[in-house]
Structure 1
């Protein structure tokens, strides 16, 4: 169901795509069209969060014919996909490093929606670029501050404060500069289901963003989560992500590798933490689509780079340029 919704979204964004699915829904024939863009709206399936749809839009948006401005409706935060908060805090600065930046570049949450019913709304706008610039992003720097959002919808506003207190109890031992916003949505802007959660982002001196997040169990599924426990485990997840380290956190590894591949014919380097299974599979896809191989060097931890094993990824871009971009 959510996959069908995703195919409809791709169909809206492109012009001239041809899609055929057989009756049992097991094979898909897809002939891609031009990436068109423009101003669009899409109702996402409530089975997966909007982050699932945004991840692919972030890959495609810079190469449209017209700047994309899309309103997505559905579930903004769930337990499976990266939430909109995390993508806003980590993926947007990452795209800016590749030279995708203007006033119109934004990701805004107008309503929150929790599973199972959703009812959230997000506006995503992205400019188009002809070429991407190559990056040398090998020094992650030191953690200088931690920011976060504790949100609660259709539950007591006190819950957000309880999450913040418990998360700070762990993180204060690590670094003093912590600020976690509480975001309590009321009325129509709170979607259709109750829930709460926390997203944390650690920022380093060199502009690296590492993120972690947790959401409460959907209404009527599983056991109830205490806000204190949720805060504690989310703080531990963030520390785990910081231990893994690298210049890009594990949710955006595949995005950065794709943008490096599509860069100009120049060398790009990025230092990542341990590769997630998804990223490893993604590298195989890059090899089959673009015939591009990354040079992968393991960096054992030493005095400066503490934490987990690091991997230095190097590649030469294929020199992709956006042919459909209209020249003004």
Structure 2
């Protein structure tokens, strides 16, 4: 399999994705390992209602390998049937208990999922840029209305300015927007010259 990608594939992600599994990792450094277990239990308690297979692993660093700063945190990722990961993460601040942090991160993940669309809020910019750089074919992606914010609007303006391409947004139901754009046909400059 060649390691060089000449053009990104055209993205066609229009179906409503269902979450098939939830994975995560809870970690700590220089604090009691029990805090990670408490964090995991709190997260699982919130995610139990989804009835999706959930595994949250623990990673506890002790002694010299843990560095100088104490603390704990978690990252939880929901993988959809279409293969798109939607994630949420959190790091403890002063006075936050492991139970509070576990509940917050799990609730943040559920909020990201409730925004709708195919991709999560932190993937929208990457998906749009890959669609623009793709083959000269029309790409489509379903976005939740909740993920379209000032940052995405600014990116759409940059796309118009630099590539002279318009991204068409059309309402697709109450909570989703269908995003369509024709790729620019960009080819990697690393392509071998014959």
What is the TM-score with the length of structure 2 in the denominator? 0.91
Distance, in Å, in 2 between the alignment partners of 1:153 and 1:146 is 24
Superposition pairs of residues 1-328 of structure 1, within 5 angstroms: 127-217=3-93, 223-274=94-145, 275-301=148-174, 309-326=175-192
Distance, in Å, in 1 between the alignment partners of 2:66 and 2:167 is 44
- 1:96-120 Cα offsets, whole Å, 9 max, x none, are xxxxx87xxxxxxxxxxxxxxxxxx
Report the count of equivalent residues. Answer: 192
- 1:70-95 Cα offsets, whole Å, 9 max, x none, are xxxxxxxxxxxxxxxxxxxxxxxxxx
Over 4 Å off, 4+ runs: none
Distance, in Å, in 2 between the alignment partners of 1:212 and 1:149 is 11
Unaligned runs of 5+ in 1: 1-100, 103-126, 218-222, 302-308
- 1:166-220 Cα offsets, whole Å, 9 max, x none, are 0111111221411101111234543432221111111122222211111112xxx
- Cα offset, 1:327, TM superposition: 5.7
Contact map agreement 1:250 1:276 (CA 8 A) in 2:
no
Q: 1:226 to 1:327 in 2, by over 3 A?
A: farther
Q: 1:291 to 1:241 in 2, by over 3 A?
A: same
- 1:19-56 Cα offsets, whole Å, 9 max, x none, are xxxxxxxxxxxxxxxxxxxxxxxxxxxxxxxxxxxxxx
Distance, in Å, in 2 between the alignment partners of 1:276 and 1:164 is 31
- Cα offset, 1:323, TM superposition: 2.2
Distance, in Å, in 1 between the alignment partners of 2:16 and 2:25 is 23
Q: 1:247 to 1:176 in 2, by over 3 A?
A: closer
Contact map agreement 2:20 2:52 (CA 8 A) in 1:
no
Contact map agreement 1:141 1:205 (CA 8 A) in 2:
yes
Distance, in Å, in 2 between the alignment partners of 1:176 and 1:319 is 39
Contact map agreement 1:140 1:208 (CA 8 A) in 2:
no
Contact map agreement 1:253 1:279 (CA 8 A) in 2:
yes
Distance, in Å, in 2 between the alignment partners of 1:226 and 1:232 is 10
Q: 1:157 to 1:132 in 2, by over 3 A?
A: same
What is the TM-score with the length of structure 1 in the denominator? 0.55
Unaligned runs of 5+ in 2: none
Distance, in Å, in 2 between the alignment partners of 1:284 and 1:293 is 9
